[in-house]
Amino acid sequence: MPVRITRLLTAALIGAGLSTAVLAAATQSLTWRGDVVTANGVVKGVVKAWQSSGHGSVQIQPFNTASGLDAVAGGSADIAGSARPSSGSATDSGLTFTPVAWDGLVLITSPANPVSNLTLQQVHDIYYGKITNWKEIGGNDAPIDVFAVASPGDGVEFSLRKLLFGRGSQPVAAPRLYVNTTQLEQSVALDPRAFGVTTLSSVAGNAKIKMLHIDGTAPSVSSVASGAYPLFSPLYLVTNSSSPNAAAAKEFVDFALSDKGASALRARALVPYDAGSTLIAMDASRRSRILAEVGARASAEPTQIAAAPTRTAAPAAVAAARPAAAPATPTLAKVSGSVLTPPPSSLKGVRGDAFTQMAAADRGSFAKVTSDAYVSHGKVAMAKVTAKNTSKPSSMANKAESKKKLAAVDNKPARSYRVAAGETLYSIARKHGVDVAQIRNWNHLKDNTVRTGQVLRIESR
């Protein structure tokens, strides 16, 4: 009898141990990190459904795309969120990008701005620095304050620039930069001259933000799902197969692709990825059409739009057809800022203010080009003189005249300027015909932030 009881107790203990192990696996805690768009649109809703189904907790750490990918690659997070596909970088190459939803990339401004519609060409030209005043596109006579997210690896910025310029790392004319789309949205709501990009899922229903129509089509769940709204893009969950929690992370991704996950996505103004077969089919032609319309070409940078995922395995990536790559750009030595394509006939007098350092691998054949920049041609005295002289062969008389003009400029006294309500460092620089970097240097500013009433030193033009 004692032997039998011992055996029964042993079996019970073993069974209890196995049950505990199974329960621990089923309730394993995961850590998610990534951009705020994927956090608010995908993860929060899916996590709620995940936990309601008896799974473990998920710690959500929203910040930006680059931080999430670095965390998953380094092992400090189990899952990342990204509004862009793999960029082909060394960090991204070891990760699995699984598209789980479709979202709309929306251009936003303040509700106080009378402009409601833009063409793709106008959006391209605003980011390119060719359109700088709202009156050029039917609005008030006021400068366009272009805002962007600082990281060159930001998912939303990368995806929009890939559509408009053919490469996600394209520098743009955005002098004011933010750490994520949440901060950008808050600033746009306060500035009637503001312009920036975020996603439909992030601002749908937000009365403080105005979403601009594109070519007459309003961004909405239905227009994104049908492809009528041209700026649609996938959102991704990213995992690392070498992570200790890889199995549990994959289970979470599979859950996001399930019916319960799809319901959570639809509640957040998203289209489940496997419901977007039409969007996958039209993606290559859409990209070609947009680039042709704005006069740009695709680069060799990967797009990696995937086939619809299955619910039992990670989706197999398929190569997306793209237009032929642009011919190599000649080396532009000592150019600081965004370089136009095609480049101007003369690069003398081209000035730019760099804000975000690009990785060396992203610079291609551009020498000393530093990421997001506003480029002005002939806005300061030196540029005007140089531009005049480059239109025809220089003579000794022209050179002497140029030196006289420059000397006169240098001898003019500096003046003070008090920042008015709603002004930005960019708008002040435009008003005085100088560059943002110059104002920062004159006033020893660490960034582009100014406050109402602040007195700035403005030197002579």
The confidence score (pLDDT) of residue 390 equals 36
Helix (H) or strand (E) holding 17: helix 2-26
In this structure, which amino acid lies at residue 184? L
The confidence score (pLDDT) of residue 401 equals 53
pTM of the predicted structure, to 2 decimals? 0.63
The confidence score (pLDDT) of residue 301 equals 66
The confidence score (pLDDT) of residue 421 equals 75
The confidence score (pLDDT) of residue 180 equals 87
Three-state DSSP at 153 gives coil
Per the CB < 8 A criterion, the answer to whether 372 and 354 are in contact is: yes
Which tokens in the block code for residue 416? 């003070």
Angle between helices 425-432 and 436-443 (to 10 degrees): 100
Per the CB < 8 A criterion, the answer to whether 72 and 246 are in contact is: no
CA nearest neighbour of 283 among 85, 64, 38: 85
The confidence score (pLDDT) of residue 27 equals 58
Separation of alpha carbons 165 and 344, rounded Å: 17
pLDDT tens digits in sequence order for the chain, 461 residues long: 444 444 443 444 334 443 333 333 445 799 999 988 899 999 999 999 999 999 989 999 988 888 899 999 999 999 999 999 988 888 888 899 999 999 999 999 999 999 999 999 999 999 999 999 999 999 999 999 999 998 656 899 999 999 999 988 889 999 888 988 999 999 999 999 999 999 999 999 999 999 999 999 999 999 999 999 999 999 999 999 999 999 999 999 999 999 999 999 999 999 999 999 999 999 999 999 999 999 998 876 655 455 555 443 333 332 333 333 333 333 333 333 332 333 333 333 333 333 332 333 333 333 333 333 333 333 333 333 333 333 344 444 554 554 454 444 445 467 889 988 767 776 787 788 777 778 888 888 877 777 888 999 988 65
Separation of alpha carbons 189 and 187, rounded Å: 5
All residues at 6 or more sequence positions from 294 whose CB lies less than 8 Å from its CB, including other chains: 120, 121, 124, 164, 165
Separation of alpha carbons 311 and 309, rounded Å: 7
Angle between helices 396-411 and 381-390 (to 10 degrees): 170
Per the CB < 8 A criterion, the answer to whether 355 and 373 are in contact is: yes
Helix (H) or strand (E) holding 120: helix 120-128
Per the CB < 8 A criterion, the answer to whether 235 and 41 are in contact is: yes
Whole-Å CA distances, 127 to 71, 95, 394: 30, 31, 34
Q: For each of the domains in the chain, give its residue range(s) and CATH number, in order of start.
A: 26-101+233-294 (3.40.190.10), 103-232 (3.40.190.10), 412-461 (3.10.350.10)
Three-state DSSP at 423 gives coil
All residues at 6 or more sequence positions from 278 whose CB lies less than 8 Å from its CB, including other chains: 225, 226, 227
